[in-house]
Amino acid sequence: MEKNSKRNLIITLATIGIISALVLTFVYEWTTPYIEANQAKAQKQAINEVLPNVEEVEEVEKNGNIFYEGYDANGNQIGVAFQNSGGGYNGMIEVMIGVDLKDNKIYKISVLNHQETPGLGARITEPEFKSNFENKNFGDYQVVKTPPKKETEVQAIAGATISSDSMTEIIEEGLDIVTSAYGGGN
Amino acid sequence: MSIDFKELIKDFTNGLWAENPIIRLVIGMCPTLAVTNTASNGLAMGLATSFVLIMSEIVISIIKKLIPANVRIPSYILIIATFVTFTDYFLKAFFPGIAASLSIFIPLIVVNCLILGRQEAFASKNPTHRAIADGLGMGIGFTWVLTLLGMIRELFGMGSMFGFQLLGEWYRPMVIMVLPAGAFITLGILVGIMNQISREGK
């Protein structure tokens, strides 16, 4: 039989396709538990980072968003952590935000995922930038390029204004989500 | 079957310098320019690409006689894509840090023309043991240039190397080096230097 006959071409490609699909099915089955565990671990770490002295975390769904309510050792609610994401300079930025809903303050923020430029936008993960939001009242934040004078001012990372703007927007949007889910900021 | 070791060594060393994929053949430029902003990114990308290259060269050199010439390119791509997907899952499961920093560039190894190029030029014409030597040589050749590029760009762009801060506070990082333009400049200079070296060697 001719090697380049139509039948032979179809058989060759189908066989390779089937073998490849089989191999990848096993690889997928094998790696998925590890990948999910890694993601869960990263998320748990982020929650512990943004809620101070949290002992227990409860997952709650409100308005289609998932919130993590944190309780201290005595069972008092200390705050709520939640994820929000938005477009950055190179791709999506995912942020975990921890808030104190009694005083309407941000505790801390943590960056879960981002693809910003190393050395520039990637510095959104560094304490120096994150401290811009720590212990701040909810409000409209303005990104400035000089050391901040007002509480609502956020100092942009030099050379990474877009990343700084995106972070500020993601956080502002997140605060709207959490206040509307928990009853208009009371 | 007798194995000609001289030939094997020649196949292996070919990729390290004489036909180095980046500085001599100038193929596989997408990851070369995109992920070499730090030394560890360059190294990780080089190793991931080498794995895919070696594995697909082995498989293709084994089954080359079974593949009809008319569908050889789609067949190669299927085999390469299988190994790339494997690498992607494997890194996400066991090296989440590396997977996060290379992100989209791991799946993009599929379209790295270095890999398809070596199947077409070498694995599909030569026995398996020679294909392994070629894959190893090309893989190491690709990795060392990628790592060197990453080291230079990270040093000038961030003052560090493999994440360790080398240059002190006095150093004002050249931001352009971690941006795409820095990749072109560094690669151009590097290729120039390498050409000079091999010309003097003659």
pLDDT in tens, B35-60: 898 899 999 999 999 999 999 999 99
* Overall residue count recorded for chain B in this entry: 202
* Res A75 pLDDT > 70: yes
Asked if A57 and A68 touch (Cβ cutoff 8 Å), the reply is: yes
For residue B79, the chain A residues in CB contact (below 8 A) are 16, 20
Residue A13 CB contacts under 8 Å (≥ 6 apart), including other chains: B71, B74, B75, B78
Average of per-residue pLDDT across A157-182: 91
**What's the average model confidence in pLDDT over B99-109?**
86
CB-nearest to B38 from A17, A115, A118 is A118
Give the separation between CA A154 and CA A172, rounded to whole angstroms.
Answer: 12
DSSP-derived pairing of the beta strands A142-144 and A153-155: parallel
Question: How many contacts, defined by CB atoms under 8 Å, are there between A and B?
Answer: 77
The pLDDT of residue B63: 94
Q: In sequence order, what are the beta bridge partners of A137?
A: A105
The pLDDT of residue A185: 45
Contacts of B68 in chain A (CB under 8 A): 3-4, 8-9, 12
pLDDT for the residue numbered A186: 43
Binary contact (B82, A24; C-beta < 8 A): yes
pLDDT digits (tens, 9 = 90+) for B11-36: 999 999 888 999 888 888 888 888 89
Q: Return the pLDDT at A184.
A: 57
Which residues on A lie below 8 Å from B38 (Cβ)? Answer: 118
Least confident of B118-122, B183-187, B198-202: B198-202
pLDDT tens, residue by residue, A83-111: 999 999 988 999 999 999 888 899 999 99
B46 DSSP β-pair partners: none
pLDDT of A2 higher than 80: no
Cβ contact (<8 Å) for A24 and B85? yes
ipTM for the complex shown: 0.84
B65 to chain A, minimum CA–CA distance in Å?
A: 10
Across the range A117-133, mean pLDDT stands at: 86
Say whether residue A125 is in contact with chain B using an 8 A CB cutoff.
no
- Closest by CA to A79, choosing from A117, A121, A47, A113, is A47
